[in-house]
Amino acid sequence: MKKLVVITGASSGIGESIAKRLSDEGHPLLLIARRVERLTALNLPNALCEAVDVTDKQAFSAAVAKAEAQFGAVDCLINNAGVMLLGQIDTQDSDEWQRMFDVNVMGLLHGMQTVLKDMKLRKTGTVINISSIAGRKTFANHAAYCGTKFAVHAITETVREEVADSDVRLTTISPGAVETELLSHTTSDEIKAGYDSWKQDMGGVLAADDVARAVSFAYSQPQNVCIREIALAPTRQQ
């Protein structure tokens, strides 16, 4: 059997597609999200499904320990869980900023701290962090979201340098617009409508599996090849 992969936010969208693809490739999986019933409904073989909020580091670590007891050491962590709550700086509720930083940044740090110590000791392993084109360029109404995704780039590159001597790889995947549930959590109907017409104007967006293929490509390279970053977007996206 292939080695254990941990995927956060596997209950919908990009994470769900990554789970299906890596399962097809033969990996045992630890699938993490709050909606555990959506994880179990995927019905993937050799998949431990755990209801974990990534902002809870203890729960994250406990789920990883449980999976390792069943399937052996984690070979790859895919930090995919994220929230995007768009809003204007003068009106957005600061709780929404807090939630984005807690999930998109703190959740990702929790995941890395949980697996990297052991990966460094074993001198192998891969961490793939899902950022965004919004981690490379800015968009109106995305102030805090862009802040979290620029942080993901900075954190990933910093940690990549820290662990390179241990042959552990860090990869950033930066998708453009993808059809998922991500936009649905934004509370402003006006901003949601604007985002929808932006997607229509560019003639459609990526499918979640387009991103899953990029993840699989990066992970399947030999361990001495580190794909540092992949940015992919709809061809017409600016």
Under the rule (CB under 6 A), what is the footprint of ligand NDP? 8-15, 33-35, 53-55, 80-84, 103, 130, 132, 175, 177-178, 180-182
Residues 90-105, buried b or exposed e (16+ Cβ, 10 A)? eebeeebbebbbbbbb
Amino acid identity at 66? K
Rank residues 98 and 223 by Cβ distance to ligand NDP and give the closer one.
Answer: 98
State in angstroms the smallest separation of the CB of 18 from ligand NDP: 9
Q: Which two structure tokens, joined as six digits, stand for 220?
A: 């399947």
State in angstroms the smallest separation of the CB of 97 from ligand NDP: 15
State in angstroms the smallest separation of the CB of 183 from ligand NDP: 7
Place of tokens 């999200």: 33
Rank residues 53 and 167 by Cβ distance to ligand NDP and give the closer one.
Answer: 53
Rounded to whole angstroms, how far apart are CA atoms 212 and 226? 17
Rounded to whole angstroms, how far apart are CA atoms 157 and 146? 17
For residues 80 and 175, is the Cβ–Cβ distance under 8 A?
no
DSSP 55: T
Rank residues 122 and 231 by Cβ distance to ligand NDP and give the closer one.
Answer: 231
State in angstroms the smallest separation of the CB of 167 from ligand NDP: 26
Rounded to whole angstroms, how far apart are CA atoms 35 and 156? 27
Query: Which residues 6+ apart lie within 8 Å of 197 measured at CB?
Result: none
State in angstroms the smallest separation of the CB of 24 from ligand NDP: 18
Rank residues 12 and 124 by Cβ distance to ligand NDP and give the closer one.
Answer: 12
Q: Residue 219 catalytic?
A: no
Degrees (nearest 5) of the Cα angle 182, 200, 184?
Answer: 20
Rank residues 124 and 237 by Cβ distance to ligand NDP and give the closer one.
Answer: 237
Backbone φ and ψ for 76, nearest 5 degrees, come out as -150, 135
- Beta strands 74-79 and 229-232 are unpaired
Selected catalytic residue, list 71, 97, 101, 145? 145
Catalytic residue positions, numbered: 145
